[in-house]
Amino acid sequence: MENDYSAAPALTQCIEGQPSIGRKQRILAAALSPILPGAGHWLLGDKRNAVIFLALFGVLGLCFWPLRVPKSFVGLVFLVWAVMLVCAVATWSALRVSSASSTRGPRWWLLFLMPLALMISFAHSKWLLRVAGFQIFDVPSTGMQPTVLNADRILIDLRQYRDAKPKPHDIVIFRKDGLFFIKRAVAVGGDRIESKDGALFVNGHRLEEPYVQHVGNPPPELLEFGPTQIRQGELFVVGDNRDVSRDSRLPDFGPVGEQNVVGKALYVLRSTSHRYGTDLR
């Protein structure tokens, strides 16, 4: 009986010396980490790193909103890479960083978990953009060439006109007849606009439009119209591809109400002409 009692402390000491967190828990923690950086470390009991990763993710969230850093292309690229890095490092750390209370997760699980972390990081960037008031828009027409090409992917600011009104030369996205259009505002409420031989005149002054493209043979109504007085709360919009754009110059299209404007075009995200990051002005 004395031998049985003397063996018990040794057995207890052996069990206490073993890691309390197994590989399965490590894998689960790594899988949780890109969903909410820091959650995996909290599951492992590593509260210090949990707070660090959660704080980093929170700071990046603040950069989306209310700081709205993605208003510039450089800001968006920085934030997308930063979110991706935080998610990837949190995943790797939760799986592979050793501690006294846990064993490392199997290295080969990184082949599955790292691509998952990258996909989730892109999903984070996408929903954070929407929360901050930005939206990705694919251009379906040639009416704004050469400024915006057909099939260009651009970023628009949905909050731009909440506290301000569109100004002349702004490139705006608006809804009309159930469809979305992208055009350039050239006149606002109270302006008087007319066209002479294809040149636009606003309040008697000819517009300088270096961005306009002419491809020839436009319908006569696109070359000569007006003068027309724009009512308050309306915009006169035209496409930069002036000879083919269907816009406010046509009587069946007409001016656009400011309440129908969805947002302002900021810059090109993707283009067949490799114009990534081009500001739209």
- Proportion of the chain above pLDDT 70, given as a percent: 91
Same domain, 80 and 158: no
pLDDT tops 50 at residue 12: no
Same domain, 184 and 249: yes
Same domain, 146 and 262: yes
Q: What is the CATH number of the domain that holds 185?
A: 2.10.109.10
Domain that holds residue 211: 135-270
Q: What 3-state DSSP class applies to 71? A: helix
> Considering 132, 165, 189, which residue would you say is the last residue of a domain?
132
Q: Residue 13: inside a domain, yes or no?
A: no
274: left (phi over 0), alpha (psi -120 to 50) or beta: left
Q: Say what the pLDDT of residue 4 is.
A: 44
User: Residue range 88-96: average pLDDT?
Assistant: 96
Residue 136 φ/ψ, nearest 5 degrees: -85, 135
pLDDT tops 70 at residue 113: yes
Q: Residue 278: inside a domain, yes or no?
A: no
For 39-51, write each residue's pLDDT tens digit.
Answer: 999 999 999 999 9
* Total domains, the chain: 2
